[in-house]
Amino acid sequence: MKELIETIVKPLVDFPEDVQVNVHEEDQRVTYRLSVNKNDMGKVIGKQGRVAKAIRTVVYAAGSSEQKKIFLEIIE
Protein backbone atom coordinates (compact mmCIF):
# COMPACT_ATOMS: atom_id res chain seq x y z
CA MET A 1 0.00 0.00 0.00
CA LYS A 2 2.89 2.33 0.80
CA GLU A 3 4.23 1.86 -2.74
CA LEU A 4 0.81 2.61 -4.21
CA ILE A 5 0.59 5.92 -2.35
CA GLU A 6 4.09 6.89 -3.45
CA THR A 7 3.31 5.93 -7.06
CA ILE A 8 0.24 8.17 -7.06
CA VAL A 9 1.76 11.17 -5.28
CA LYS A 10 5.29 11.45 -6.72
CA PRO A 11 4.22 12.49 -10.25
CA LEU A 12 2.00 15.23 -8.78
CA VAL A 13 4.70 17.08 -6.84
CA ASP A 14 7.75 19.19 -7.71
CA PHE A 15 9.92 17.55 -5.03
CA PRO A 16 9.31 13.77 -5.30
CA GLU A 17 12.36 13.02 -3.14
CA ASP A 18 10.56 14.63 -0.17
CA VAL A 19 7.55 12.29 -0.37
CA GLN A 20 7.45 10.04 2.70
CA VAL A 21 4.83 7.53 3.78
CA ASN A 22 4.91 6.30 7.37
CA VAL A 23 2.82 3.35 8.50
CA HIS A 24 1.21 3.17 11.94
CA GLU A 25 -0.58 -0.11 12.69
CA GLU A 26 -3.00 -0.77 15.51
CA ASP A 27 -5.35 -3.65 16.28
CA GLN A 28 -8.10 -2.93 13.76
CA ARG A 29 -6.68 -0.02 11.75
CA VAL A 30 -3.70 0.97 9.65
CA THR A 31 -2.86 4.65 9.28
CA TYR A 32 -0.67 5.85 6.45
CA ARG A 33 0.82 9.27 7.10
CA LEU A 34 1.79 11.06 3.91
CA SER A 35 4.35 13.85 4.18
CA VAL A 36 5.37 16.08 1.27
CA ASN A 37 7.41 19.23 0.79
CA LYS A 38 5.66 22.33 2.16
CA ASN A 39 5.55 23.85 -1.35
CA ASP A 40 3.77 20.76 -2.73
CA MET A 41 1.03 20.62 -0.09
CA GLY A 42 -1.47 22.47 -2.29
CA LYS A 43 -0.89 20.11 -5.21
CA VAL A 44 -1.55 17.05 -3.08
CA ILE A 45 -4.68 18.48 -1.48
CA GLY A 46 -6.05 20.15 -4.63
CA LYS A 47 -8.89 22.61 -4.96
CA GLN A 48 -11.47 21.98 -2.26
CA GLY A 49 -9.60 18.77 -1.36
CA ARG A 50 -10.50 16.97 -4.58
CA VAL A 51 -7.06 15.46 -5.22
CA ALA A 52 -6.74 14.28 -1.61
CA LYS A 53 -10.20 12.76 -1.78
CA ALA A 54 -9.34 10.94 -5.02
CA ILE A 55 -6.11 9.57 -3.52
CA ARG A 56 -8.00 8.37 -0.44
CA THR A 57 -10.65 6.70 -2.62
CA VAL A 58 -8.03 4.70 -4.51
CA VAL A 59 -6.17 3.72 -1.33
CA TYR A 60 -9.36 2.67 0.47
CA ALA A 61 -10.50 0.62 -2.54
CA ALA A 62 -7.13 -1.12 -2.79
CA GLY A 63 -7.18 -1.88 0.94
CA SER A 64 -10.75 -3.11 1.08
CA SER A 65 -9.59 -6.73 0.89
CA GLU A 66 -7.67 -6.38 4.15
CA GLN A 67 -9.33 -7.08 7.47
CA LYS A 68 -8.20 -3.77 8.96
CA LYS A 69 -9.64 -0.31 8.38
CA ILE A 70 -7.30 1.91 6.36
CA PHE A 71 -6.78 5.64 6.89
CA LEU A 72 -4.66 8.15 4.97
CA GLU A 73 -3.51 11.32 6.70
CA ILE A 74 -1.74 14.13 4.89
CA ILE A 75 0.58 15.92 7.29
CA GLU A 76 2.92 18.88 6.99
Q: Is the pLDDT of residue 67 over 90?
A: no
The pLDDT tens digits of the residues spanning 9-44 come to 999 999 999 999 999 999 889 999 999 999 999 999
Residues facing 74 on adjacent strands:
34
Q: Is the pLDDT of residue 63 over 90?
A: no
The proportion of the chain whose per-residue pLDDT surpasses 70, expressed as a percent, equals 100
Q: Rounded to whole angstroms, how far apart are CA atoms 60 and 58?
A: 6
Q: What share of the chain is helix, strand, coil (3-state, %, to 5)?
A: 50, 25, 25
Are 28 and 45 in contact by the 8 Å Cβ rule? The answer is no
Q: What is the model's pTM?
A: 0.89
Domains of the chain: 2-75 (3.30.300.20)
